[in-house]
């Protein structure tokens, strides 16, 4: 048992001050559903925990005005079950309700969910030197490249890492052009969610652009009519308690029977939550039928590169996205 200190902060400022004072061994904790796993595996070894679950106003859910706003410590279950979210933004509600178990959703926060670390088996099971992992030990190599890569990424991989980004919620937020509010020593800043994640390149251990002491204090989603024509489709090895082999977040702004604007993101297939810009461009101005949906989905995977065991993800991903497009399009009729 490694000793550690624990502090519960009442405000973001208190939490940041405590984090900075604690030094390199500090970690924030809210729901703890990811951090505790990593601590048990020996991947994370914090010396100081700063609890940010009860920061003033951090669990706020606000659906008034021209945007949806979720405090960083709002619980996944509460956001998924919010009447406005579940009625008008099904892509958001489904991405949360299809994640983990109900017990975990009752504890996990929407801010913490953005910062989950990968479920790559080599990252999680090689702590004692059994498998090299550049995320865990920079420069040690990547056992997944050329190894058992069934669960690994086919989009966005590099020579140093092909680990899949694990979340569902970030994929839906990517499709919906969400922005992330961060608070640190120098104040508050807001960034598009697309700028939160780093592709692995040659530095896969640098996963996020967030500063060490920064806290996710809020998530904002623009209100749009596309929310009513949206869906989150998730394909996995079993129906519950499993991460996505492939997922698709789709929201469509329709102009009669044609697509005005398409919002498309993919999960389970990429090293970061993946915006499918090629599919969006293909769909713009087109009548949505099965043939067009498959063509758009195929375009989304044009740059995919398979490993030894995960080539199936390319066709499965295209078919999953096509199904999601047809489902979302049918809601406008």
Q: What is the DSSP string of 98-110?
A: TSS-HHHHTT-BH
Rounded CA-CA distance 96/172 in Å is 9
Instruction: Give me the residue label for tokens 């991903």.
Output: 317
Rounded CA-CA distance 191/195 in Å is 6
- The per-residue DSSP string of 191-247 comes to EEGGGTB---TT-TT--B-S-TT-EEEEEEEE--GGGGGEEEEEE-SSSSS---SEE
DSSP state of 25: G
Rounded CA-CA distance 36/319 in Å is 36
List, by residue range, all CATH 3.30.390.50 domains of the chain. Answer: 226-330
Exposed, middle or buried: residue 199 (CB in 10 Å: 0-12, 13-18, 19+)?
A: middle
Q: Is 275 helix (H, G, I), strand (E, B) or coil?
A: strand
> In this predicted structure, what is the pLDDT of residue 1?
62
- From 3.30.70.580, 3.30.43.10, 3.40.250.10, 1.10.10.10, which CATH number describes the 5-54 domain? 3.30.43.10
How many CA atoms lie less than 13 Å away from 141 in the CB half-sphere?
Answer: 10
pLDDT, averaged in runs of 10, over the chain (333 residues) = 90 97 96 94 94 96 97 98 98 97 95 96 83 94 95 98 97 98 97 98 97 97 97 94 94 94 98 98 96 98 97 98 97 79
Rounded CA-CA distance 299/302 in Å is 5
> In this predicted structure, what is the pLDDT of residue 127?
73
DSSP state of 176: T
Helix 312-330 vs helix 290-300: angle between axes, to the nearest 10 degrees?
130
Single out the residue of 121, 119, 127, 123 nearest to residue 45, CA to CA: 127
> In this predicted structure, what is the pLDDT of residue 239?
85
DSSP state of 32: -
Residue range 226-330, CATH number: 3.30.390.50
Rounded CA-CA distance 89/37 in Å is 31
Exposed, middle or buried: residue 284 (CB in 10 Å: 0-12, 13-18, 19+)?
A: middle
> Which residues are CB-contacts of 216 (< 8 A; sequence separation ≥ 6)?
72, 111, 112, 114, 115, 180, 181, 182, 210
Rounded CA-CA distance 4/229 in Å is 48
Do residues 145 and 307 make contact, with C-beta atoms less than 8 angstroms apart?
A: yes
List, by residue range, all CATH 3.30.43.10 domains of the chain. Answer: 5-54
Q: Could you tell me how far CA 223 lies from the centroid of its own chain?
A: 20
């Amino acid at each position: 048992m490694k000793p550690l200190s624990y502090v519960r902060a009442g405000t973001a400022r208190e939490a940041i001050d405590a984090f900075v004072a604690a030094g390199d061994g500090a970690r924030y904790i809210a729901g703890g559903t990811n951090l505790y796993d990593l601590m048990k595996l020996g991947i994370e070894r914090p010396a100081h925990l700063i609890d940010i679950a009860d920061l003033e106003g951090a669990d706020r859910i606000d659906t008034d005005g021209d945007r949806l706003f979720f405090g960083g410590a709002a619980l996944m279950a509460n956001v998924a079950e919010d009447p406005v979210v579940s009625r008008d933004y099904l892509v958001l509600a489904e991405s949360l309700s299809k994640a983990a178990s109900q017990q975990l959703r009752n504890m996990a926060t929407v801010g913490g969910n953005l910062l989950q670390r990968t479920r790559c088996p080599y990252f999680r099971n090689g702590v004692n030197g059994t498998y090299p992992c550049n995320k865990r030990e920079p420069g040690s190599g990547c056992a997944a490249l050329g190894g058992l890569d069934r669960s690994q990424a086919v989009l966005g991989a590099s020579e140093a890492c092909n680990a899949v980004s694990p979340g569902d919620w970030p994929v839906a937020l990517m499709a919906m052009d969400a922005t992330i509010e961060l608070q640190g020593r120098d104040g508050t800043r807001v960034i598009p969610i697309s700028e939160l994640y780093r592709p692995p390149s040659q530095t896969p251990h640098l996963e996020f652009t967030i500063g060490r002491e920064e806290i996710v204090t809020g998530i904002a989603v623009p209100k749009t009519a596309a929310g009513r024509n949206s869906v989150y489709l998730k394909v996995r090895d079993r129906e519950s308690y499993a991460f996505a082999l492939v997922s698709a977040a789709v929201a469509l702004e329709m102009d009669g029977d044609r697509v005005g604007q398409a919002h498309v993101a993919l999960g389970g297939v990429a090293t970061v939550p993946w915006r499918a810009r090629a599919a969006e461009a293909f769909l713009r101005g087109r009548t949505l039928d099965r043939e067009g949906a498959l063509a758009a989905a195929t375009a989304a995977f044009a740059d995919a590169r398979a490993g030894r065991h995960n080539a199936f993800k390319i066709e499965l991903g295209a078919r999953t996205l096509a199904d999601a497009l047809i489902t979302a399009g049918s809601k406008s009729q």
